[in-house]
Amino acid sequence: MKKVLISSFDMEVGGVERSLLSMLNNFDYQQFDVDLFLYSQSGDFLSLLPAETNLVAEVKEYKTVRLSIKEVFSAKMWRISLARLLAKIKVTLSKVKETDYLQAQYIWQYCLPFLPKNSTKYDVAISYLWPHHFVAEKVNAEIKIAWIHTDFSAITTEPNLDLYIWQKFDHIISISKDCTDAFIKTYPSLADKLVVVENITAPKFINEMSKESITTPVFFQDEFNLLSVGRLCHPKAFDKAIKVMHLIHQKGYRKIKWHIIGYGPDKNSLTALIEKHNLQESFILLGKINNPYPYMSACDLYVQPSRYEGKAVTVSEAKILGKPILVTNYPTAPSQIDHLVDGVICDTSIESIAHAIIDLYENPIQRSALSKYCKAQNHQNSHELKKLYKLMNIQASVET
């Protein structure tokens, strides 16, 4: 039996975490002894991990990468505190608009010398979430695999800072062709390492979870209910969605309501923007909901208004539930939606999104056709794991 390590940050409610959970629930545990190392053993998905997965003990130093500098100082981790402070200064001096990815790079670069090594010898180590420094530098494994979940053409990073880390991996897995192409443009020398493995879906699980009752009704029959699920942050573009909703109201469509499931750093600014446009009754932040599927099943239209995505897990889940779907034309959208076949792709402007929503609102025949197509498809893709097993140099059985 091959010994495998998979690392990620936590199991909070999110797209990457849902895709990891689906992968773990479809893994071949007859062939693999799987350790899961989470930098923070937190999140509502922890309870859903399969019993066959061995959860490795949390290491306090790794949890610090997402703590505030004040919290790290309070924990008396002096060297890591100073490294975090240096990373903060470096990012501030860079003067980039979107700092999240660049800051993560600097945090790992400066904190790495003070993070402990994993003492276990593995046949395969998989770093499921970027940055990949832990598996690259702190794990002893015969084969190392890194995962890409985002569109590298749409984020601000310093490529040379990570090149030596990427070079330490035998294989790099991308979740779509578009993500692969964008990554190769950033790192052309790594092209030979790239393999596409789609996010593993869990149709049976999603359909079962969608049958749970919604304790507090939020959708009403005389309204046209939009739903989006995602972290309240810049890439998901909910600030733009609020402006779209304001324009829709200006055009006289008062029965259209937009509901958002998710939490994140932009909650306060989004709430202020909702109040500015007097949309408290029409653009509703539902907050963190562990099981979004009953809401997704009940909505009239699922909308993904993102500025960029790797391959949105929520869009795949909406397909499984047979919903009509609208996505904005972010760079990787065509790799997930076949326009006018299993969804609609619209331009990214506020006017275009508003027009597309109104058009679908007024066209129930088209919505029905999109739903019917999605319901007719076989969304089970656990066979994608065969590609991963091949990279591990092992043949394993997998449900098809």
pLDDT, position 101: 93
pLDDT, position 164: 96
Q: Do the two domains 2-59+116-200+381-391 and 204-376 of this chain adopt the same fold?
A: yes
pLDDT, position 217: 82
Q: Which CATH superfamily is domain 204-376 in?
A: Glycogen Phosphorylase B; (3.40.50.2000)
The domains of the chain are located at: 2-59+116-200+381-391, 204-376
- List beta partners, residue 146: 127, 172
C-alpha–C-alpha distance, residues 301 and 284, integer Å: 15
Three-state DSSP class for 304?
Answer: strand
C-alpha–C-alpha distance, residues 42 and 306, integer Å: 26
| Sole residue written with tokens 């810049």 | 234
DSSP-derived secondary structure for 143-190: EEEEEE-S-TTSS---HHHHHHHHTT-SEEEESSHHHHHHHHHH-GGG
Q: What is the pLDDT along the chain (400 residues), one digit of tens a residue?
A: 999 999 999 999 888 999 999 999 999 999 999 999 999 999 999 999 999 999 999 999 999 999 999 999 999 999 999 999 999 999 999 888 888 999 999 999 999 999 999 999 999 999 999 999 999 999 999 999 999 999 999 999 999 999 999 999 999 999 999 999 999 999 999 999 999 999 999 999 999 999 999 877 899 889 999 999 999 999 999 999 999 999 999 999 999 999 999 999 999 999 999 999 999 999 999 999 999 999 999 999 999 999 999 999 999 999 999 999 999 999 999 999 999 999 999 999 999 999 999 999 999 999 999 999 999 999 999 999 999 999 998 655 444 3
pLDDT, position 227: 98
Torsion on CA atoms 57, 61, 65, 70, rounded to nearest 10? 130
Instruction: State the chain's maximal CA–CA distance in angstroms.
Output: 64
CATH classification of 2-59+116-200+381-391, choosing from 2.60.120.330, 3.40.50.11890, 3.40.50.2000, 3.50.50.60? 3.40.50.2000
pLDDT, position 215: 78
- List beta partners, residue 34: 4
